[in-house]
Amino acid sequence: MITRRTFFKLLAGTAAGILTLGGYAGAVEPLLRLEATPYRLTPPHWPKGQKLRIVALADFHACEPWMPADRIASICDYANTLGGDVIVLLGDYMSGMKLVTGVVPPAEWAKAISRLKAPYGVHAICGNHDWWQDKQAQELRLKETVAHRALRAEGITVHSNTAVKLGTDAHPFWIAGLEDQWAYLTGRYTQRGLDDLPGTMAQITDDAPVILLAHEPDIFPKVPERVSLTLSGHTHGGQVNLFGWTPVVPSRFGSRYVYGHKVEDGRNLIVSGGLGCSIAPVRFGSPPEILVIDLG
């Protein structure tokens, strides 16, 4: 039989544990941890002997106090030390969280991101929150958002169903970037995308390998074999990962593309766990990360 004293000891211990876990999830993991997650692969259609290092950042969700401009700048300074031949940004620079103390203006977070440098440049796409937090873009059904313009003003290449050929004459490759698949809110739980995968792929004019940027990984089943690697963010690795169980994943496929390297029918996808937070400022079992992907 548990005595009254033992019961209260257990109760106190449980409360302390809950407070400790809450403090970790609300402060330590989202604010103090940052990992560089390495991947090394030679995907289909990637030429033998062609080496490329991609550094990928996703889901900043700029806001005070969780992701202020100075923290974004610090993350970008660290990313510059990782030796990327090309740096890609996978969307969601804006934050839609209610639990914030202030908004970081687009000009400020874009200025911080502009610190990123790589030999083949910095290439960005926008995400659903960049669209959802732009009231004018929603109301007028514009074709770009304030996030597109802020990044472009800092000299960053922003892709919107566009492709560009990079590399050298001996080792060329394509970066293709889709517009967001959830861009327009059409109802409380419904969205309409502006992505055009066929139109984007039609811009690729030779057999050089293709890297596709798509904010939401849900497009992956439609990605053709011609694409060597698809890179996505959006899911935050579930943001709360309880020993492999991710209770909330913003995808119609559930946990199928929640995080990491996925291979289906010989096609390759890597989903970033991202950097910031959405809905609530907590992360547990899914620390902020920068992807470092070595191809070839």
Superfamily of domain 35-295: Metallo-dependent phosphatases (3.60.21.10)
pLDDT score of 32: 63
pLDDT along the chain (296 residues), means of 10: 42 38 49 87 94 98 97 98 98 95 97 98 98 97 98 98 97 98 93 98 98 98 98 96 86 95 97 96 94 98
Give the Cα separation of 66 and 90 in Å (integer). Answer: 19
Domain ranges of the chain: 1-32, 35-295
* Residue 183 vs residues 40, 76, 176, 225, 251: alpha-carbon distances, Å: 32, 26, 18, 26, 14
User: Which residue, among 9, 139, 152, 1, has the nearest Cα to 89 in the 3D structure?
Assistant: 152
| SS3 state of residue 295 | strand
pLDDT score of 10: 42
pLDDT score of 19: 38
Cβ(260)–Cβ(270) below 8 Å: yes
pTM of the model: 0.90
pLDDT score of 217: 98
pLDDT score of 248: 85
